[in-house]
């Protein structure tokens, strides 16, 4: 049977290799999953695909090496616990990326992220877009991820249980990285859904495939974008923005910073079997949800210190390490090992970096992307590595060339070297680190 891989994209599936295997991206609401959902994904990961799950920088979970005829069974079992992949790839509003630090504004940003995900996923008015549309809800300006989104809401404060957000739009990475513009400061949350809808409509109606929203601002200017948006907003209907649970879905205690436990993964890789053990350990101590963080780790919030210590002991017993210790932020995309677009074996490179710079990485942030799509977000890491070209040598073998980015201020990182061989890249990093 001939498979229409292009048509599968809207279902969150990409053709991964010549053999026709598939990557499936599960869209999580704000990176959050219950331990019951984690247990189902763990079982599916052991039964199907590579046996290893990939935690993405946008709080999604990816399966690799799936076969087409396995999909109905996988989708059915995910649906039974409220999980889906619709709109995780292709021309759609992608998974909503949300801050996972349990800090200021956490309960507001989580609820908004969930609301946006449910609003846009599978909604035919917002599918068939020229390309992807990425939304983030950030609790603060740390990490500057608001700059790389098509639309970002950054939490400012709250009054009587209603939150306010700064709104940024038109950012994106790829071949021509462009920082988002500030659209408006301190917008009430009740205005955000009509605003998000209007910005997606401006994109849908004024940009040709396969361009992103940023191209509209780059080619026609910010003033014209604002004019188009004002026209669209004039037609928008107000919507109710009530929350039956009054932002109490994910309550955060006062000492969340001391209680939170981050489980580091290397390059976002997690054995499905280990995820199952983690879910069981969490459930045993009364922790009922986990978060996939923007740095490809898992985070949990135990109820108190005793529960936290029990959780650390249980996780150590089943093979997790590095708990409660300082660790480096090392974001890594799947690269050529599992992605058709990949120009470099990013994970092998990451392993090399870990060994070479073992004592220098802690407290630093490094990101490695296998192509200019920049899935590991190298332009918002302290040091970013991007495979920008593949060169054929005299022996007929192809080898990657790398660009190096350095970020010092609050803007996107700047490219400080380009087209480096691997040896030149290591020499450049030796000098930086």
Residues at the interface with ligand SF4 (CB under 6 A): 333-335, 339, 341-342, 369-371, 373-375
Closest CA to 50 of 17, 79, 76, 78: 17
Instruction: CB nearer to ligand SF4: give 250 or 425.
Output: 425
Q: Write b or e for each residue in 169-206: b if 16 or more Cβ atoms lie within 10 A of its Cβ, otherwise e.
A: bbbbbbeebbbbbebeeebebebbbbbbbbbbbbbbeb
Residue linked to tokens 């513009």: 181
- The least distance separating ligand SF4 from the CB of residue 369, rounded to whole angstroms, comes to 4
Instruction: CB nearer to ligand SF4: give 228 or 371.
Output: 371
Rounded CA separation 154/207 (Å): 25
- The least distance separating ligand SF4 from the CB of residue 47, rounded to whole angstroms, comes to 24
- The least distance separating ligand SF4 from the CB of residue 17, rounded to whole angstroms, comes to 12
Please give the helix or strand (H or E) that residue 290 lies within, else none.
strand 289-292
Rounded CA separation 114/66 (Å): 27
- The least distance separating ligand SF4 from the CB of residue 16, rounded to whole angstroms, comes to 10
Angle between helices 35-47 and 71-79 (to 10 degrees): 170
Largest Cα–Cα distance in the chain? 68
- The least distance separating ligand SF4 from the CB of residue 401, rounded to whole angstroms, comes to 14
Instruction: CB nearer to ligand SF4: give 71 or 341.
Output: 341
- The least distance separating ligand SF4 from the CB of residue 339, rounded to whole angstroms, comes to 3
Instruction: CB nearer to ligand SF4: give 105 or 384.
Output: 384
Please give the helix or strand (H or E) that residue 207 lies within, else none.
none
301 to each of 102, 287, 297, 313, 406, how far by Cα in Å?
Answer: 8, 7, 14, 15, 33
- The least distance separating ligand SF4 from the CB of residue 54, rounded to whole angstroms, comes to 9
Instruction: CB nearer to ligand SF4: give 228 or 349.
Output: 349
Instruction: CB nearer to ligand SF4: give 74 or 343.
Output: 343
Instruction: CB nearer to ligand SF4: give 302 or 400.
Output: 400
Name 404's Cβ contacts closer than 8 Å, sequence gap at least 6: 383, 384, 385, 415, 416, 417, 418, 420, 425, 428, 429, 432
Angle at Cα 277 formed by Cα 272 and Cα 78, nearest 5°? 50
- The least distance separating ligand SF4 from the CB of residue 373, rounded to whole angstroms, comes to 4
Instruction: CB nearer to ligand SF4: give 34 or 373.
Output: 373
- The least distance separating ligand SF4 from the CB of residue 334, rounded to whole angstroms, comes to 5
Rounded CA separation 162/187 (Å): 11
Give the CA dihedral 316, 320, 325, 327, nearest 10 degrees.
180
Instruction: CB nearer to ligand SF4: give 293 or 369.
Output: 369
- The least distance separating ligand SF4 from the CB of residue 95, rounded to whole angstroms, comes to 14
Instruction: CB nearer to ligand SF4: give 264 or 342.
Output: 342
Contact indicator for 271, 49 with CB cutoff of 8 Å: no
Q: Write b or e for each residue in 134-162: b if 16 or more Cβ atoms lie within 10 A of its Cβ, otherwise e.
A: bbbbbbeeebbbbbbbbbbbbbeeeeeee
- The least distance separating ligand SF4 from the CB of residue 134, rounded to whole angstroms, comes to 13
Contact indicator for 113, 98 with CB cutoff of 8 Å: yes
Instruction: CB nearer to ligand SF4: give 14 or 153.
Output: 14
DSSP assignment of 139-160: SSSGGGGGGGSSEEEEEEEEET
* Neighbour count for residue 226 (Cβ, 10 Å): 15
């Amino acid at each position: 049977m001939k498979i229409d891989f292009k048509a599968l994209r809207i279902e969150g599936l990409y053709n991964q290799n010549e053999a026709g295997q598939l990557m499936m991206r599960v869209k999580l609401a704000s990176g959050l999953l219950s331990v019951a959902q984690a247990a189902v994904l763990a079982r599916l990961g052991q039964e199907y695909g590579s046996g290893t799950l990939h935690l993405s920088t946008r709080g999604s979970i990816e399966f690799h090496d799936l076969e087409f005829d396995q999909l109905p069974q996988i989708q059915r079992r995910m649906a039974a616990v409220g999980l889906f992949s619709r709109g995780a790839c292709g021309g759609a509003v992608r998974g909503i990326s949300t801050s996972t630090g349990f800090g200021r504004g956490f309960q507001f940003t989580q609820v908004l992220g969930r609301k946006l995900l449910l609003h846009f996923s599978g909604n035919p008015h917002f599918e068939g877009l020229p390309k992807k549309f990425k939304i983030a809800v950030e609790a603060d300006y740390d990490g500057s991820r608001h700059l790389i989104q098509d639309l970002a809401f950054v939490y400012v404060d709250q009054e009587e249980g209603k939150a306010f957000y700064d709104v940024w739009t038109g950012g994106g990475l790829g071949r021509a990285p462009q920082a988002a513009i500030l659209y408006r400061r301190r917008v009430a949350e009740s205005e955000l859904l009509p605003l998000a809808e209007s910005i997606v409509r401006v994109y849908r109606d004024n940009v040709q495939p396969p361009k992103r929203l940023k191209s509209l601002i780059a080619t026609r200017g910010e003033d014209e974008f604002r004019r188009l948006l004002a026209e669209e907003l004039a037609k928008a209907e107000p919507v109710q923005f009530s929350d039956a649970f009054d932002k109490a879905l994910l309550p955060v205690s006062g000492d969340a910073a001391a209680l939170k436990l981050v489980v580091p993964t290397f390059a976002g890789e997690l054995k499905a079997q280990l995820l199952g053990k983690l879910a069981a350990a969490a459930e045993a101590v009364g922790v009922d949800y986990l978060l996939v963080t923007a740095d490809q780790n898992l985070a949990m919030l135990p109820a108190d210190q005793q529960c936290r210590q029990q959780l650390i002991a249980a996780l150590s017993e089943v093979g997790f390490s590095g708990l409660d210790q300082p660790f480096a932020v090392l974001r890594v995309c799947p690269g050529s090992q599992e992605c058709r677009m990949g120009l470099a074996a990013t994970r092998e490179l990451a392993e090399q970096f870990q060994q070479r710079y073992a004592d220098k990485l802690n407290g630093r942030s490094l990101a490695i992307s296998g192509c200019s799509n920049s899935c590991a977000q190298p332009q918002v890491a302290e040091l970013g590595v991007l495979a920008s070209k593949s060169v054929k040598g005299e022996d007929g073998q192809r080898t990657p060339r790398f660009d190096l980015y350095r970020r010092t201020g609050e803007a996107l990182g700047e490219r400080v070297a380009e087209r480096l061989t691997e040896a030149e890249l290591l020499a450049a990093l030796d000098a930086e680190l």
